[in-house]
Structure 1
Amino acid sequence: MEDNQHKKILKLFLRIALSARFLSAVADRFGWWNKEVSVWGNWNSFLAYTELINPGLPKAVVPAIGIIATGAEILFAFFLIIGFKTELFAKLSGFLLLLFGLAMIISTGIKAALDYSVFPATAAAFALSLIKEKYLEVDSLISKRDRQKALQ
């Protein structure tokens, strides 16, 4: 298999893996995972954890932070899956994960960030942002359409 094909397959794998990671965490917050495998299990437990890793924030803003983080994870996952502005959303995903990991370290120590593989996921997101080859992405269709318009 040629190198370009490897990059395309790697990019697709990274898109799916990061999206699955985000969507799994979101599903956990809404109680969609079994209790045996769940980290939070419900929205209130997630907000309690959000408060724990953001100790300097006023309690009143914790729900907003939880909603913003959850919305970002859903949005980033969706755009990564369909391949829309992949490099941008991969980079934003990397920054979100990095912030999450740093908040975990500052508030609870490094063990949780390591156990939950936050930094490998961060690295994967930043690596994904560097792969320019398009593969099964909406961006391919948009750029193809723009090229056709330019030729007319």
Structure 2
Amino acid sequence: MDSKMAKLGQLFFRVAIACSFLSAVADRLGFWGAPGSPSVSWGNWQNFVAYSNQLNAFASAQLGELLAFAATFLEILFALLLLIGYKLKLTALASAALLLAFALSMTFSIGIKAPFDYSVWTSATACLLLYSIPSYPYSIDAYLNRQQKNSPTGI
């Protein structure tokens, strides 16, 4: 594969997965429209928590709301880290783990079709592929590595 294409591919993937995370957060906060609007899954926090509790039927309502908040926080955090390119190996692996947790909870709670329809398995796998990339040229990580190499002390 062409080196420039590989560099652009990993950048495009980082932006795409970050936008997917942020789009899901925007939906649960009502930014894509009210509940029942076309292409809106939840439309508000309450509907998202109800859905999250359906996926996490093993948890109490209070723990379910905490899990919904944690998922939302992590999606925002991982999206920002992917966009700026900071701690990409760790972020890619953590994103894969989060998406795998989503896929498994969807599979066991509502069936195998839902995580395939929403490409959750594909996204989790793509995050693992992002993790396997040796370097990320368009990132803060690359900038910090260059600065470290150019430092007189090498640290």
TM-score, normalised relative to structure 1: 0.94
1:38 to 34, 37, 40: 40
- The 2-side partners of 1:131 and 1:8 are apart by 10
Q: CA deviation at 1:144?
A: 1.3
Deviations along 1:44-89, one digit per CA (max 9) or x if unpaired, are 0000001000111011111111111000000000000000011110
RCO comparison, higher one (Cα < 8 Å, 6+): 1
1:105 to 104, 107, 111: 107
Paired residue secondary structure (1:26) = helix
Instruction: Note if contact 2:17-2:79 (Cα within 8 Å) is conserved in structure 1.
Output: yes
Q: 1:32 to 1:3 in 2, by over 3 A?
A: same
Q: Mapping of 1:73-88 within 5 angstroms?
A: 73-88=75-90
- What is the aligned partner in structure 2 of residue 20 from structure 1? 19
Q: Number of aligned residue pairs: give it.
A: 151
- Displacement over 3 Å in runs of 4+: none
- The 2-side partners of 1:133 and 1:140 are apart by 7
Q: CA deviation at 1:3?
A: 2.4
C-alpha root-mean-square deviation of aligned residues, in Å? 1.4
Query: Residue type matched to 1:110 in 2?
Result: I
Q: CA deviation at 1:151?
A: 5.0
Instruction: Note if contact 1:23-1:77 (Cα within 8 Å) is conserved in structure 2.
Output: yes
Q: 1:93 to 1:147 in 2, by over 3 A?
A: same
- The 1-side partners of 2:21 and 2:64 are apart by 19
Instruction: Note if contact 1:7-1:133 (Cα within 8 Å) is conserved in structure 2.
Output: no
Q: Mapping of 1:2-151 within 5 angstroms?
A: 3-34=2-33, 35-149=37-151, 150=153
- The 2-side partners of 1:115 and 1:18 are apart by 16
Query: What percent identity do the matched residue pairs reach?
Result: 38
Query: Residue type matched to 1:18 in 2?
Result: I
Higher helix share: 1
- The 2-side partners of 1:151 and 1:44 are apart by 51
Instruction: Show structure 2 runs of 5+ residues with no match.
Output: none
TM-score, normalised relative to structure 2: 0.93
- The 2-side partners of 1:151 and 1:64 are apart by 43
Instruction: Show structure 1 runs of 5+ residues with no match.
Output: none
